A and B are shown apart, each in its own frame.
Chain A
Amino acid sequence: MAEQVYVVFARKNREDPLHHIGSVQASDSELAKVYAWKTYDEERWFEMVVAPRNAFYPVNREEAPFDITRRGAGTPEVT
């Protein structure tokens, strides 16, 4: 089963916007959800979501800092 990168977004309060907080590599979305929750557990998040990295289409650059496919879990990202 191929691993893919999932990007992680979260917010601490209902009124906050979602923030891009990092990424995990996982074989499916169920595992990605667990990995994200357990990796980024430094806050009491109101909401956390994950999405496959390849669901995002670069708008203004082909090779953006957002592309983290070769980095490991928990690597801080430039957004």
Chain B
Amino acid sequence: MTDDIRSVADLSPESRRALHDLILSLADSKRIIGILYADWVLGAPELEANIATSSISQDEWGHSRLLYALLKDLGEDPERLEHAREPSEYCSIEALDQRLATWPQFVVANAIIDSALTVQLEALSASRYAPLRQRVQKQLEEERFHEAHGAAWMRRLGSSSDAARSATQEALDACWSEVLHWFGPDDFGAAEKSAGLSDGTGGELRTRFVERMGPVIQGAGLEVPSAQLDFSDWDPASRRANRTGPDPEAVARARGDRNRAFFVETAEPEK
């Protein structure tokens, strides 16, 4: 591997911008998926699944905190990012804009959407930007269990009743195109790949994702949906086509609005 980059001062302005956008997209996606998972902490079909869902939700929350903290070196205020943004400012994957209203929707988010984030994270596991690389490994170790949980439940739903199988297929069909678009156009991130910051372009990561998910989906007796890619409205900074953002209620919970409503006003801490 070429030399490590330990400081943002050693990154070009273009690389700095690209890393900022990538980390923010991952952090926001993990923050939102953690909140959406939390809706199922007491609603999963069995006790063990409740426990697993709770733990997975906390993992995602932890990952997002690690990632937001990294953005401090890239000119952001993590406190503002976590607690003071409107939904339209979120750069989370569009496939998470709606609540996970049913258990099959939870399972598809867990098996498919979460895995897309992991494929992107894996592309950073050999990044020359050391502060990022050093925070990726632990997240990947935890993600191994998230993916196993999602895949096992997808198999279970796929081999269950017709109603369960068709609800799972519908949830899959509903998110598939948005997940594929999240990786960006085929040459997206080519400059970062050349600079050794990431190891795959948008097209390469999308291929990795589809190759990994295909056997999981088919192994569950489901069909891999088809998708027409169209990036005409796609914004490379937010990795989204719309700027309305995730569910406002989910964002309010992610920001901790209700917690702060109980705070007693105090003087501003000295900087």
A33/B148 in contact, CB under 8 A: yes
Interface readout for A38-77 with B: 1 if CB under 8 Å, 0 if not? 1101000000000000000000000000000000111000
Using known A-B contacts A30-B151, A38-B52, determine if residue A72 contacts B159 with beta carbons closer than 8 Å: no
A: contact size bracket: 10 to 19
**What is the predominant secondary structure among interface residues of chain B facing chain A?**
helix
**Cβ of A41: which chain B residues have Cβ within 8 Å of it?**
55
**Cβ of A24: which chain B residues have Cβ within 8 Å of it?**
48
Using known A-B contacts A28-B152, A31-B152, A31-B153, determine if residue A38 contacts B145 with beta carbons closer than 8 Å: yes
**Cβ of B148: which chain A residues have Cβ within 8 Å of it?**
30, 33-34
**Cβ of B52: which chain A residues have Cβ within 8 Å of it?**
34-35, 38-39
**Cβ of B46: which chain A residues have Cβ within 8 Å of it?**
3, 25
Q: Does A7 contact B (CB under 8 A)?
A: no
Q: Does B17 contact A (CB under 8 A)?
A: no
Taking Cβ atoms with an 8 Å cutoff, the residues of A that contact B are: 1, 3, 24-28, 30-31, 33-35, 37-39, 41, 72-74
Taking Cβ atoms with an 8 Å cutoff, the residues of B that contact A are: 46-49, 51-52, 55-56, 145, 148-149, 151-153, 155-156, 159-160
- A sample of 13 more A-B contacts (CB under 8 A), given A31-B156, A35-B52, is A1-B156, A3-B46, A25-B46, A25-B47, A26-B48, A27-B152, A28-B152, A33-B148, A34-B52, A37-B145, A72-B47, A73-B51, A74-B47
